[in-house]
A and B are shown apart, each in its own frame.
Chain A
Amino acid sequence: MRRHTRRIFNICYRFTGNRTEAEDLSQDVFLRVYRTLASYRSAHGGFATWATSVTRNLLIDHYRRTKRDRITDSLDDKMPVVENKESAGRRPDEQALLGELSKQVQSALTRLSPELREAVILRDLQQLEYAEIQTVLAVPEGTVKSRINRGRIELARILQQMGVRPA
């Protein structure tokens, strides 16, 4: 169970960028899995793939619920800036949690659209295969590859705007 908890927590954290939200969403994922376990069928892929699908659905639902809050917040930060420790707005333990560069990538990830963000997280952070991502997102493989490609390019441009130079 710890292995699944860690994986789902990482997906939620990379998607939301917020530790507290990631914990709450992880709990909701396991609650949903626990309640709908009877509906699990092996045709949906392995249990891990099915749990990832539940996670992705909850993340999208959460994103849509909190969209209005984010719209009002985004009006204040039209110019993305390089985050440093003083302006990160995170707790010191969260700063310690991430590496220097990874936190900037994390910040850039939260600025991607949800469709591109989830594709990049599943491919580059969770190292899932195209077929598995296709099952999780319930879209054709061509769409999966297209979203991953556009997400990577968009992410690189966001980092460039933030002033982060590639290594």
Chain B
Amino acid sequence: MISELLTRLRFLIFRKRRRELDEEIEFHLKQAITTRIAAGMDPAEARRQALIEFGGIEPTREQCERQRPGWWIGTVMQDVHHAFRGFGRNPLFTISVLITLALGIGATTAVFSVVDRILFRPLPYAEPSRIVSLGFVHPLERQEFMMGRFYVEWQKDQTPFSALAAQGTGVHNCDLVESDPMQLSCISFQASFLPLFGISPALGRNFLPEEDRPNGPPVVMISYGLWKVHYNGDPHILDRMIDVDGNPVRVVGVLPKDFQFPTLEAADIVSPFALDPAVQQTVNGGFGGAMRLFARLKPGVSVAQAHAQMQPLFNGDLKWFPPSAKSETRLSIRTLRDRETQDARPVAWVLFGFVLAVLLIACANVAGLMMARGAGRQRELAVRSAIGASRGRLIRQALTESLVLSFAGGLAGLAIAKALVMVFVRLAPTGIPFISKADLDLRIGVFAALVSCLCGVIFGVATALQKPQLAALNAKTSMSRNHAFLRRSLVTTQIAISIILLSGAALLLRSFTKIEEQNLGMQTGGVLTVKVAVPRLRYNTNQKVMDFYLRLESSLRRLPGTRAVGMTDSIPPGGWQDGFRLSDLHVQGEPPIPPGTGGTVVGRSVTPDYFRGLNIPIMRGRNFADQDRTGDEREVILSRLLAERLFPGEDPIGKRFLPGAHVSGAGAIVVGVADNVKNSGLTEQSDPEMYTLRRSVSGDWGGNHLMVIVDSAMPVAAIEPWVRSEVSSIDHTIPVEMEPLNESLNRLADRPRFETTLLGFFALTGLVLAIVGLYGLIAFMTTQRAHEIGVRMALGATRANILRLIAKDGLRMVLMGSAVGLGIALATSHMLKTLLFQVSVYDPLTYILVPLLLSLVALVAILIPARAGTRVEPAITLRAE
């Protein structure tokens, strides 16, 4: 066996020289001739007889050559060489296929790499599909939350879960007090948290049960980032005492590098949740502390089953809720993936659909081009077959060509994909989960390449597979009819898909312009928002916080060019803002609003300059005045929407609210009505709003959310350093964050902008591909019909006649495709509904403009090759017969 292999190998390397074989054959013939002459034959006749007996010399030579192991490698090289020559002769075809493959593979791979993380990639936990987020949901908090009182009961009585673990409701600021203080994000979770997610610390250990108790030993775990950057990856970090918010705590573990919190927050320091079951029935009005709750489903239990099993427990909990909250609170259990990807999913699915569509177009295109080329080469194939090429050889040749093309296209595609992913990640807004982790996914790239190359190979070889017909040798137009039909259908399909893609993208574009153009109800230009992270450690009373801000306010007012310095706890239209229920308000002298009706109201606690700074007009009554800030009365200003809802047809000025859940003290008096401001994000319906005066009383300065807005006549960039120096002149250790309001608003529009860009890019890719296909087909058909055109012209047809003839053919495909595409687009556009803002899914403008645009572009793609077709000289084509 081995010796045989070695022999083969030897012959593979040392080829037998051709001369040797020639010499051998010559010897054979000489012998044959000599024998015959010896038998008395005439020498010439002897030679003739010997040659006949021997058979063909050249076939023998070839046959011998073919015995050599690995001889086919040579023919492959020959095929490749031949293929390149063919490409060079037919650059239009080659470029069309390459563009198609590169764009198709590139675009689909890039977008799929991005979408994959959102839709399909498992989360970085053990058996992530069995982890759920559970708890209550309420119109004011749509993410599941849990209250300690009920958690204690659930832990005892639940059946569907193998484990439960709570995490703090969110990260909060904390100070790491070392040689120089720094502000970090802190969070807490239970000792059962990491095991539930199947995570073990990169260094050290998880919390022990005795540490996860009230008044347990003070320990923390730190993030990998904090360990690496702040502690330089110090291996002796474990058991080190660090000072967090003035309390010495011991580091027991470092979280893994790629660990992500299920809430997708970033935290530097984690402390034990330390739930105290004993007090949960008394604190927070008997509800217990708030938390986020996660659980692992027992094997075989589905989310729906778990929901059904938890429902009785939840119903039992409801009786503790106040009547107003009862009707609005629901039990929610959903998989972690659903929680993490939330509203990214519709977009991701739409993108995924677009990906498939573009891939389909690319495949159809390659198939169509390959078939066209195959049909055009029937004559060549027939000739080659006639002079002795075997079927296998012809098929191999076709296969080689397809593979060479596909390979080149695939490589170009992957390069494009890599570049596109980088662009996408750069463009992507921060809100889309996981996108920063997106990287070129080679599996997808290979998949896309395989699919589109397979199309090319199948259709490329298909033409070589049929026996070349002798008729092809003399026939001028050898395009077989059924292939022509198939090719037309392919192009029609492409047009239809492009229409679908384009109308989808156009709808999003219209929606996006609507978002950009809408009136926010406030001025944003020239306004600077300033966030100051006041360390709670030193500013530990509301009084100290207030003093700081009042000092800051007066020093900022002294800056040149300042028009207004306002303070508020939030800024519309997005981000955190306080909210309460309309039914929490009780107007003096009127019956209370039935609980659970009227929806939610945005609450904002502002100083008088807020309205001046953002240029929000006061419609009735007056603005807060500076002297109100020191008065005893609590003034409020209503938004127009709230005023209309509470006091329809009445003058709201002077009305009083009784003290209640949102109005404290002795109640509040309405002094004015402000115009509506967009306050629920850019795309949602605005909520009614109530502005409360932020008085210079320490009680008004609680809470974690405070920011300063500065409206200045000076350019924003110029006042930034002044603001910074004013802050540091009051307290130089406090970090300042500043951003022009314009920019933060712009960021809000990032998400729709990103979606629109991505889908628009896709639709354009699809369009380009479809047009390339159309152009290629028309060009091909025109050359195929050169003879026919020649005859027609010889018989007196004008160029215009011919042009019409060809264009009609193409336009029929375009019209058919458009009609089908429009139908499907109209039928499926409702899937885009959640992504659209103030644009109907049946937006007439879109559905008129898109087919028009496509038809125009298609017309150009038809006319160019058609015109080239009419330039045919009848004399030349006819003579070519």
Tell me, yes or no, whether A binds B.
Answer: no
B interface with A by C-beta (< 8 Å)? none
